[in-house]
Structure 1
Amino acid sequence: MHQIRRVAMLSLHTSPLDQPGGGDAGGMNVYVRALALELAATGVAVDIYTRRTSPDQPETVALDSLVSVHHIVAGPFGKVSKEALPELITEMADAVADHVSALPGEPVRVIHSHYWVSGMAGILVAKRLDLPLVHTMHTMARVKNQHLPQGQSAEPGVREDGEQHIVAAATRLIANTTAEAAELERHYDGCEQRIDVVSPGVDLKIFKPAFRDRSRQDLGIAPGSFHVVFAGRLQRLKGPHVLVKAAAILRAQRPDINLQLSFLGSRSGSDKYDLQALIEERGLQDSATIYPPVEASKLADWYRSASVVAVPSSSESFGLVALEAQACGTPVIATNVGGLPRAVSDGRTGLLVEGRSPQLWAEAIASLHDFSETRIDMGRAASVFAGSFGWEQTAAHTVLSYDLALTYQYIAPPGC
């Protein structure tokens, strides 16, 4: 029996109640919500803290009998950019600590922060309440800056410094992959003995390989088209423009491919990235369409309607979209960066592309179009591969990290 009965999760810059695919909502929102619900299934109560952005938001929303989302008041109502959030760290930490201290029933034993803003607040909360801090980076400034796409601003120094402080102060660090663990050690002098590798999961009850023809028909995907789906925030980091440019190359070089592109997402925050303008500039209005983000069950239909799902990111700590798509029996083409080589088995469940050259992406798309039997075999292998990434495993390994945090709260583990 594990030691943990209750944990406080900090997701201060974005709420697990938000729709992924737009603004600041993405894979981390899915991660926090799914992990909390799976922890609850093992008997662990989870109190999630996020910043209140509207006076109309209830103080608490129950996701489950053991999972509550608390909206704490810090700063003005309304959205605050991630760049401005550091100014509110102390105020957010005080609000969280006050609320945790007043919780009735089973006491919180561990603070688990997500993303660097929450990590900085988590340090203050953990110190005030004398609790261990477990932190999950999700993304890291120094890694993103190392793979910075042209035209995108570098992550600020205050974030790099904050992440360095978190790595030094956290009791345990959770990395999505061994590659991310190595990046924590290389870029932030992270102690190997304090890093736990825990793979994210996928909801296998929703994302499953069923009714592919029906999904295509219901979504209006033209018969005979080679349908490529992108799901995520429409920003340069995620690379939807790579697909548009690759599609323009294919139109010129391979007019026999009846290519149809579907982009599910919206712009991220203040990002001026205009994908629609690029689509029109390349004359692809008849084959490339942007749709708003959709909830999970509808997203699964989109994945099943796809011939392939594309993840042309310049940096990914893991790539939940790749895993969800494969769970639906759809092969994935992804950039060979970050955690994507862990999420996609190259040549077996999809293809990994070196870099984001539109020509290379065009060739990868064309190869899966031309070898349809290979693509079908990849889809079958993809669903089997993704089946080993259930959230119950993520929760079980996370609990082990919590237990280690309690064990080493006041002493460093051997080797550190």
Structure 2
Amino acid sequence: MLLQLAAAVGLRPLPGDGVLRLAREGSRRVRHAAWLLLARYGRRWGKRLRSVEPADAYERLLLEALCHEPRTGARHPLPSSGLLVAQSMLMGRFDRPGEGLSGGLSVLLDSVGEALASTDGIAGVLTVVTACRPDLEADPVLLRRRSPGHWILRLPVDSDRPTGPQDIGEHREALAWWATRLMSTLGRRLDVLHVRYADDGSLALAEAARRVGAGMVFTATPDPHRQMSERLDHPDVDPDQVRLDLHRVYLADRLADRADRVVGIAGRGGTAELLHHFPQLSRRYGAGRLSAPPEGVAPYEPQPEAAKRCGFLIDRIGGTAGSADESRRTVLLSVGRLHPVKQQDVLVRAWIESGCHRESVLVLVGGSTRGPDRQESLIRDRIHAVTRGNPEARGRLLLLPALSNADVRSLERTLADPAGRFRARYVCPSAKEEFGLAVLEAMEAGMVVAGPERGGVPHYLDDGVNGLLLDTSTSHALGQGLRRLLDLDDGAAETMARRAQHLVRTRYSAAAMAQALAGHYADVASRG
């Protein structure tokens, strides 16, 4: 840590020979920190690093970045006019939504990045992600054009797996260094960086933005402050969890303090809950004046291959539903990464306890089958435990791995078709959703939707009008909500679905979100 701090601010606390000895003989983390510091001692010392033999892809890239200009791999130069903005997703793999820590944010940033790139005044968009050692071994290119005006910038992480909230703090200074180094070699200045999560990675990017002279926008949410408040109401508080919550509160407050502009995600009652947890924002912007740009979904574009795969999935669901002579069976669909906060295990328990399994098929989409992480395995084990003694429920439960966004949206449209084989409903059982992009996508597809009453879903879902709100705090309460969802007659469900679809298509588009954000970015950049 001391070596990293010295390198970050340009101090020389040791003789060059002493740093060189650490650069060659220290543990892996000490060695890397000594490399960063030695490069600060001038070219004579930096040349000594050229004789170091790298052990893997991460070390090759680090030594290359220290001794030469890093080879980003970009074949298309970044435009020189207009604003260059960056947005971040530092946990999970960007191209694999629904697996591990990759959820709706990757879908959101992909669609908003595309929309921003075609918005007036925006020259280009960088989506900043991380790449662990196996990812770097498979693909060492750090900057690649995803589409005209939209690039993916990968920050190397010295880890054998994607980082999570528990361990990303170990890489904070290294991430700040990498972001500063790569953003400084783009060929033009970065104007604005937008971070969305209160984690150590976001604070690392905030520091990098300061170092390269870029403005910063932060999206604040009621959590972690809300979670901290609720946890302290329980007598059996886990001290380790409180420590993590306090750290996240600290990070959120630091990010809000450093940001040139803070925007929020609206919940029930707008941004009132957010301002309750961030009183400094009330003083900064005035009560009720914190901006909450609507998040949105990209227009649906049919994909021929997705349609073929959808047909296969529909056949699988049909096989689970039973024989063709049965009356049209209801399908409950839920899409999301397998994680305790998403509560798929609670949903299965509620489905069984309420008796809904006798008249519906439950289809869960999410998680990786190639290499599930600990959280995914935990949820799968809990689901198997719940259904172990109930062969009827087990036979009507279909667990599908994460699908591409195109496949999910194709499946939702097919299930929503009134002339289709099934009477379909969408359910989101999460403990809370700050916004709920998957819910919006199901609404846009024409499905009647039920989502959690905690978080941001009530901002756009009006109970009994364009969907249902669920109490997801216990399996019993969730089961009552499922019963209410199944008991909706087709006429009422069709009316709700139609209203929901109209709302999303008119107010929650990726283009509208990009337009609102572009205004914030232009204002931040103009202030210098």
Q: Taking structure 1 as the reference length, what is the TM-score of the superposition?
A: 0.86
- Which residue does the alignment assign to 2:87? 9
Deviation at 1:364, TM superposition (A): 3.0
- Which residue does the alignment assign to 2:336? 232
- Which residue does the alignment assign to 2:383? 276
In the alignment, the residues of structure 2 paired with residue 390 and residue 15 of structure 1 have an alpha-carbon distance, to the nearest angstrom, of 24
Specify the structure having the higher radius of gyration (Cα): 2
Q: Secondary structure at the match of 1:47?
A: strand
Cα pair distance change 1:100/1:217, threshold 3 Å: closer
Structure 1 residues 212-263: Cα deviation after superposition (integer angstroms, max 9, x where no partner): x979844533361111011112222112223212221332xx68x5210011
Deviation at 1:351, TM superposition (A): 0.5
Match of 1:162 among 246, 251, 254: 251
Contact 1:207 1:327 in 2 (8 A): no
- Which residue does the alignment assign to 1:376? 494
Q: Which moved more, 1:240-249 or 1:392-401?
A: 240-249
Match of 1:88 among 171, 183, 205: 171
Cα pair distance change 1:13/1:363, threshold 3 Å: closer
In the alignment, the residues of structure 1 paired with residue 344 and residue 237 of structure 2 have an alpha-carbon distance, to the nearest angstrom, of 14
In the alignment, the residues of structure 2 paired with residue 169 and residue 219 of structure 1 have an alpha-carbon distance, to the nearest angstrom, of 51
Deviation at 1:360, TM superposition (A): 3.5
Q: How does 1:138-217 map to 2 (within 5 A)?
A: 140-146=223-229, 155-177=244-266, 181-192=271-282, 193=284, 195-206=290-301, 217=314
Q: Secondary structure at the match of 2:86?
A: strand
Amino acid at match of 2:449: V
In the alignment, the residues of structure 2 paired with residue 310 and residue 358 of structure 1 have an alpha-carbon distance, to the nearest angstrom, of 14
- Which residue does the alignment assign to 2:73? none
Contact 1:319 1:343 in 2 (8 A): no
Cα pair distance change 1:216/1:125, threshold 3 Å: closer
Amino acid at match of 1:300: R
- Which residue does the alignment assign to 2:40? none
Is residue 317 of structure 2 the alignment partner of residue 220 of structure 1?
Answer: yes
Amino acid at match of 2:384: A
- Which residue does the alignment assign to 2:212? 129
Q: Secondary structure at the match of 1:79?
A: coil
Deviation at 1:354, TM superposition (A): 3.1
- Which residue does the alignment assign to 2:448? 331
Question: For structure 2, which runs of at least 5 residues remain unmatched after alignment?
Answer: 1-80, 417-423
**Higher RCO (Cα < 8 Å, 6 or more apart):** 1
- Which residue does the alignment assign to 2:457? 340
Cα pair distance change 1:151/1:361, threshold 3 Å: farther
Contact 1:111 1:133 in 2 (8 A): yes
Q: Secondary structure at the match of 2:334?
A: strand
Contact 1:248 1:282 in 2 (8 A): no
Q: Secondary structure at the match of 2:175?
A: helix
Cα pair distance change 1:282/1:115, threshold 3 Å: farther
- Which residue does the alignment assign to 1:260? 361
Question: For structure 1, which runs of at least 5 residues remain unmatched after alignment?
Answer: 410-416
Deviation beyond 6 Å, 4+ runs, structure 1:
148-152, 213-216
**Greater helix share, 1 or 2?**
2
In the alignment, the residues of structure 1 paired with residue 255 and residue 353 of structure 2 have an alpha-carbon distance, to the nearest angstrom, of 44
RMSD: 2.9
Is residue 483 of structure 2 the alignment partner of residue 353 of structure 1?
Answer: no
- Percent identical: 19
Q: Secondary structure at the match of 2:367?
A: coil
- Which residue does the alignment assign to 2:345? 241
Deviation at 1:44, TM superposition (A): 3.2
In the alignment, the residues of structure 1 paired with residue 339 and residue 157 of structure 2 have an alpha-carbon distance, to the nearest angstrom, of 28
- Which residue does the alignment assign to 1:64? 147
Contact 1:46 1:66 in 2 (8 A): yes
Cα pair distance change 1:395/1:244, threshold 3 Å: same
Contact 2:300 2:409 in 1 (8 A): no
Q: Secondary structure at the match of 1:135?
A: strand
In the alignment, the residues of structure 1 paired with residue 302 and residue 425 of structure 2 have an alpha-carbon distance, to the nearest angstrom, of 15
Structure 1 residues 331-379: Cα deviation after superposition (integer angstroms, max 9, x where no partner): 1111211101023222122111234333333333333433221112212
Contact 2:412 2:447 in 1 (8 A): yes
Contact 2:175 2:205 in 1 (8 A): no
Q: Secondary structure at the match of 1:185?
A: helix
- Which residue does the alignment assign to 1:398? 517
In the alignment, the residues of structure 2 paired with residue 217 and residue 92 of structure 1 have an alpha-carbon distance, to the nearest angstrom, of 43
Structure 1 residues 106-162: Cα deviation after superposition (integer angstroms, max 9, x where no partner): x32111123123320122112212221111246732234456699995644322211
Q: How does 1:282-301 map to 2 (within 5 A)?
A: 283=390, 284-301=393-410
Q: Which moved more, 1:151-160 or 1:91-100?
A: 151-160
Cα pair distance change 1:175/1:282, threshold 3 Å: farther
